[in-house]
Amino acid sequence: MKIAAIGECMLEMSSGNLSPDHSKIPAVIGYGGDTLNTAVYLARLGSQPSFVTAMGNDQASSWMMAQWEKNGVATNLVRIDQAKRPGLYHISNDESGERHFIYWRNDAAAKYILDSDEKQKQLEQQLSEFDLIYLSGISLAIIDPPSQDRLFDMLKQLQNSGKQIVFDGNYRPVLWENTDLAQKAFSRAYAISDIALPTIDDESLLFGDTDKDAVIDRIRQCGAREIILKMGAEGCCVDDGEVREVVTGRRVDVVDTTSAGDSFNAAYLHFRSQGESLQKSAKMGHILASTVIQHKGAIIAEGDMPSFQ
């Protein structure tokens, strides 16, 4: 299956666990982005992902794109913006493995990927060659409202031509001007989602839903066809309008939660595209995600990939 993942990838400064006395901040330079992480794991599993974004004409951008290609992610849909540069973020983990971020991305190249009708027309033509289009709440958050309108118009046209639209409800409050704009954008995305991959904590934070059934019911009312609600250590709840079932995962010692949802999404989509059931695809998602969170960083070594048995 040919999959196009739309989003942003930034340079990453990683500190791991900061020293208790704050005397030093050891830093490692890497890269990261939610939809890019999913694309890498899709490639590892045998799908054919391309990453849709914009980068600068600079050494850091060239280096990141080379790393994506080494991981099996095609860069043929990356737009090079001569006037812009990629964003940057710093990540550290607390004792529980939870992440903390600081971002510098206000003028990143990816923000301008759909800032004209011409860019929309060109990208829509390019995406017509793909089977599935994948995006997240961050993909929406980084672009301005007119660009969002172009994105939704493009996705609807692609869906009408038989392409699958998949939306990961990844909500980062700091990226949104206010919750009202975020709620409207997420609802529009769910309305055209063939597969919706929300997370209960994000949905509760954004919409105030109190339990899994309330979240799923609201997203189904928006128009989503297949819903997989990720619930952390409690597993996930799959719903296709006829079946609603909790699929449990396995409990492990958490080292770093980075890319837990991104890797789950990759395994779910890969096995679903192979004709597996919602339940089995979710189990495969749990296997990969539970492996990833036992390692540092978003992308684990290929040798650490699990066996899907």
Greatest Cα pair distance, the chain, in angstroms, is 57
Which amino acid, one-letter code, is at 290?
A: S
Neighbours of 254 (CB within 10 A): 15
Q: Collapsing DSSP states into helix, strand and coil, what is residue 183?
A: helix
Residue 3: name the closest of 206, 305, 272, 245 by CA. 272
112-136: burial string, b at 16+ Cβ within 10 Å, e else: bbbeeeebbeebbeebeebebbbbb
Distance CA 69, CA 268 (A): 22
Alpha helices in the chain (DSSP H): 34-45, 59-70, 117-127, 137-141, 145-160, 179-191, 200-207, 212-222, 260-273, 278-292
Q: Which positions are annotated as active-site residues?
A: 262
Backbone angles phi and psi of 30, in degrees to 5: -145, -150
Contact 154, 118 (CB under 8 A): no
Contact 229, 246 (CB under 8 A): no
Chain-centre distance for alpha carbon 213: 23
Q: Collapsing DSSP states into helix, strand and coil, what is residue 49?
A: strand
